Amino acid sequence: MNEFDLIIIGGSATATASGIYASRRKVNFCILTESWGGEVANSGEIGNYPGFNQTDGLKLSQTFKEQLIFNQVDLREGVKVESIKKKVGIFNLKTNKGDYTAKTILLGTGVHPRLLNAENEEKFRNKGVSYCSTCDGPLFRNKIVAIIGGGNSALESAIMLSKIAEKIFLLTIHEELKGETIYIEKINKDPKVTIITQADTRKFVGTNFLEGLEYLDKKTNKVKNLSVQGAFIHIGVVPNSDLAPKEVEKNNFGEIITNKLGETSLEGFFSAGDVTDIPFKQIAIATGQATTAVLKAIQYLDKH
């Protein structure tokens, strides 16, 4: 029977932190995730997570998983949760692997990449256009690529791809790069990277595979072309909050509104990590927030 006191939904930092604490408290729980890794696995160089001088997203996400295994956590991969409804104090979950019930839920489903919505973006998806430098970067060894975005994820992508690609064009719609100073300084010194500011990418071009892109130079108001074989889009993220029951309040960005304890507007339904309205989307924040939320969920279970 798939009956639990707590079900944690997610496959990254939030699920790891909450899963470890729930395991050590001997809670009857499991973790459900369609796939393991989340946006952590898509990150490039990581130098700001406590305990690691420097690592990368793939290594850190694997370390997270190994720690769950070490703590004998019931991690169920390949499970896609399709709906969550609360009835008579119990949460009923429908998944592609059968039904589940739980007294409490902790949703830590994170975010997914925001689309650029440029012409032919979908046509060349996985044919030169990518949203994951870590996943697809090795396919572009010694090739010319563009990175679209000016924040940390775009900067991390440029640093990583500099070790692989022949040449990198970094296009941002803003007047300057935004992100950690250490990343910006590193990119400014990299001869492989050409930074193009105030560039509004409008169109991807090619026949069967990507061959280039068009962007509006907002400084001159002229459309310009770049010949590239790959384009990596890093312009922000969208919360994976559609799964939350309708009783759970969200803000205008679709982020789940929580208090400082991870509680939502629906009793017994907790949330943590990037899917919530907590600012500063960072791995360290997600793990700390998850710890608070799961401890509050356990306290809730003790009273019910």
**% of residues, the chain, pLDDT over 70:** 100
Architecture of domain 3-112+237-303: 3-Layer(bba) Sandwich (3.50)
Q: Which two tokens stand for residue 44?
A: 């490039």
Go through 34-60 and write b for each residue having 16 or more CB atoms within 10 A of its CB, e for each that does not: eebbbbbbbbbbbeebeeeeebbbbeb
Query: Taking the domain 115-233, which CATH number applies?
Result: 3.50.50.60
How remote is the C-alpha of 298 from its chain's centroid? Answer: 26
Rounded average pLDDT over 239-262: 97
pLDDT at 189: 96
Using the predicted structure, report yes or no on whether residue 133 has a pLDDT greater than 90: no
Using the predicted structure, report yes or no on whether residue 43 has a pLDDT greater than 80: no
pLDDT at 281: 86
pLDDT at 270: 99
pLDDT at 41: 83
End-to-end CA separation in angstroms for the chain: 21
pLDDT at 285: 94
How remote is the C-alpha of 254 from its chain's centroid? Answer: 15
Mean pLDDT of the chain: 95
Using the predicted structure, report yes or no on whether residue 50 has a pLDDT greater than 80: yes
Q: Please write the tens of the pLDDT for every residue from 4-33.
A: 999 999 999 999 999 999 999 999 999 999
The CA-atom distances, in angstroms, between 273 and each of 90, 106, 111, 116 are 23, 10, 9, 24
Contact, 10 vs 76, CB < 8 A?
no
Q: How far apart are CA 15 and CA 245, in angstroms?
A: 19
Go through 68-91 and write b for each residue having 16 or more CB atoms within 10 A of its CB, e for each that does not: beeeebebeeebebeebebeeeeb
- CATH topology identical between 3-112+237-303 and 115-233: yes
Q: Please write the tens of the pLDDT for every residue from 54-93.
A: 888 889 999 999 999 999 999 999 999 999 999 999 999 9
Q: Please write the tens of the pLDDT for every residue from 145-181.
A: 999 999 998 999 999 999 999 999 999 999 999 989 9
Rounded average pLDDT over 260-285: 95
Contact, 277 vs 257, CB < 8 A?
yes
How remote is the C-alpha of 6 from its chain's centroid? Answer: 23
* Three-state DSSP class for residue 263: strand
Reported as a pLDDT band with limits 50, 70 and 90, residue 134 is confident
Q: If you search the block for the tokens 């907590």, which residue do you land on?
A: 278
Q: How far apart are CA 222 and CA 269, in angstroms?
A: 51
Q: Please write the tens of the pLDDT for every residue from 214-237.
A: 999 999 999 999 999 999 999 999
Reported as a pLDDT band with limits 50, 70 and 90, residue 39 is confident
Q: How far apart are CA 147 and CA 187, in angstroms?
A: 12
pLDDT at 48: 87
Residue extents of the structural domains in the chain: 3-112+237-303, 115-233
